[in-house]
Every structure is written in structure tokens, then in C-alpha cells.
Amino acid sequence: MYLSDRDIKHMLNELNIECSDVEYPFNPEEQIQPCSIDLRLSNVFWEPSNFKRLDLRRSRLLEVSPRRFWKKKTLGNGECITLKPGKMLLGRTYEKFTIPNSFAGKIEGRSSFSRLGLSVHCTGDFINPGYRGQMPLEIINHSRATIKIFPHLPICQLIIVPLSSNPERGYGHEELQSKYMDDDGGPSYWWRDKRIARLQAAFEEVNLEIRIQEQILERVGIQEPEVIERFETFLGKKPVANLDSADSLLEEFARSEDRTRTKDKMITGGCYALFPILASASLGALYYSQAFTWGHYVVFGVTLLSLLLFGYALLDTPKEYLGTGETRKLLNK
């Protein structure tokens, strides 16, 4: 059973709807529908970065830099954000609200936007009794067209569902270890779920891995996200049987970082040296030769390739490393 507009109006004080901008207040006459409340988009979004895999076994590493796979973007007045076909971004409702203990809530999309191919959640539509905050939205573009969205767009609706009785423990109760009370609507904290922790502990090889991760984090502290990502890749290639010593694992990773740094320096140095030479040769060939031969095309092709490598050296080589020298300094602190 859903609450009707009549009942929703009677419980507005309990819902305690707040809006942060006085220019965009909550308007009951416009936003309360026959059995729902229209909610609007906030100006805060989280865009996924370019990551290809997420290993759900490595929960401890996510605590180091939990949101490194996402980029937060706050829009100003008149600005919009682009959502390409098949892509997802995280948003949140502009309105902050409370679900009273005797009710549950549901977030649903609105027909006008669903007909454009926009969905506002990825199965995460349910709101527990006692929750308060700005409801997170997983906005996905299912259409073939690029769509631009903007703050205060009335993209979803809140449905209030009465319960058969008050729950013994509402959302936020200390025994439940609720993760998202007054959350900012950003990326998931899935690894903080106590059942996930028990599941990981049930597998000896994963439990061992977590112990090693904890020891390593105690030794090196918080590093740049790109360093942690390389450590995850390094760890994923190691057999479980070899994960028996934090110190030896850290030493091996440091040596790997030293090799990565040396390789990157060679690539960068080679590109800095090679590109000017080949560019000069190409210009000389154009200036002094009246007829093109296959040799000219080879020079031009190699020059173009060196230009691509030059761009790679400038943009894609790591800027931070956790090599032998850095590790030694950290451990001697």
C-alpha cells in the first residue's frame, strides 16, 4: 500500500524535507503527486574513471583510497553534465529527507525521463525506515543518444510505504552498522558490510591476503591512487602460497616499482631524443626532395609513431612510485 497525497501532506513534518538553496525551495503544491513526491537532482555527481576491473576480495585496499575510481563533479548554475549511451554516473536527490520508523520508502523514475532512456537506480530503489539523507541515484543512459542533465531536474519520485508495525531496529541503529546515514550520495562502501567481512574471513586464502594487506598498509600508510592500483595488479598476479610475508611482498613490489620507473624513464628519454631527430629528418625530406619514394613514407611513418610515443611519455607514465628508496624512507620514519 502506498500513501496518497492526502496522507503525504499530513506527514510532511515527519519527512522533514530540506533544501540547501533558498532559490529552489520544496514546493508541496507542485511536487506532491497523487501518491508520490517529485524529487530533483542535486548539483553533485560522481563520474567513473577508466578502470577495467574491480576485485571485490581486496576490501582493505579500498579503505586506503575508497573513491579513487570516481571523480566528483559539482556543477554551478547553468552547467550540465553529459551522459553518453550505455554509461552510468552517480548523482543524488537535491532534497534531503527522513523516512519515519513506521514507513519505508521507494525511489522510482518518472515516465517523462524513462521514455528518454534514463533510469535513476540500479536495483537500489528501497529506503529503510529511519534513513535520513539525500538519496543516491545510479543514473544510466539506455538510449542511443547522448543526454545532458542538469541540477534541479525533477527526475525521480519518492513513494512512501506504511509498515505493518514499527521495526525493532531502524536504519542507523548501532547493531546494524548502517553505512549510508547522512551520506553524500557518492560511490559504494560495499566492503564495510559486516556480512562481506564474514564471507571473506570464511576463506582462508582471502583472510590471509587481508592480513598481509593490513600489515603492508601499516608499514607504508596512504599512497597515491595510481600506486595502490599498481599494487592491486601486482597482488593479483601472485599465487596465494606466496602471500606469507608482508615484508618480502613489499620488497618485491618495491623492486617492481623500480623497474617500472626505469622503463618509464627510458621511454620518456627515448621519445624526447627521437622525436626532434625524426621531425627534422621529415622536414628535410619535404624541403629537399622533389619526388617521394618509399623511403620518405617510412620516415614519415616512424616520425608519426614517435609523436604518439612522445604523447604517451608525457601523459601516461606514472608520476608517483613506491620503489626501494621510497619504501626505505617510509619504514625508517
Using the structure block, give the residue that is written with the C-alpha cell 503527486: 33
**5: amino acid identity, one letter:** D
Residue 98, phi then psi, degrees to nearest 5: -120, 140
Tell me if residue 226 is catalytic: no
Among 168, 154, 75, 170, CA closest to 118:
154
Reduced to 3 states (helix: H, G, I; strand: E, B; else coil), residue 131 is: coil
Q: What are phi and psi of 276, to 5 degrees?
A: -60, -35
For residue 327, give the C-alpha cell.
Answer: 619504501
Residue that the C-alpha cell 622503463 belongs to: 263
* Packing angle, helices 225-236 and 246-288, rounded to 10: 110
- Using DSSP, state whether 160 is helix, strand or coil: strand
Cell numbers describing residue 284:
628535410
Given a contact cutoff of 8 angstroms between Cβ atoms, the answer to whether 130 and 101 are in contact is: yes
Query: d(Cα 118, Cα 8) in Å, to the nearest integer?
Result: 27
In contact, 117 and 145? CB cutoff 8 Å: yes
Residue owning grid cell 619535404? 286
CA–CA distance, 137 with 42 (Å, rounded to integer): 10
Catalytic residue among 138, 226, 232, 252: 138
3-state secondary structure (DSSP) of residue 91 = strand
Helix, strand, coil shares of the chain, percent, nearest 5, are 40, 20, 40
Residues with catalytic function: 138
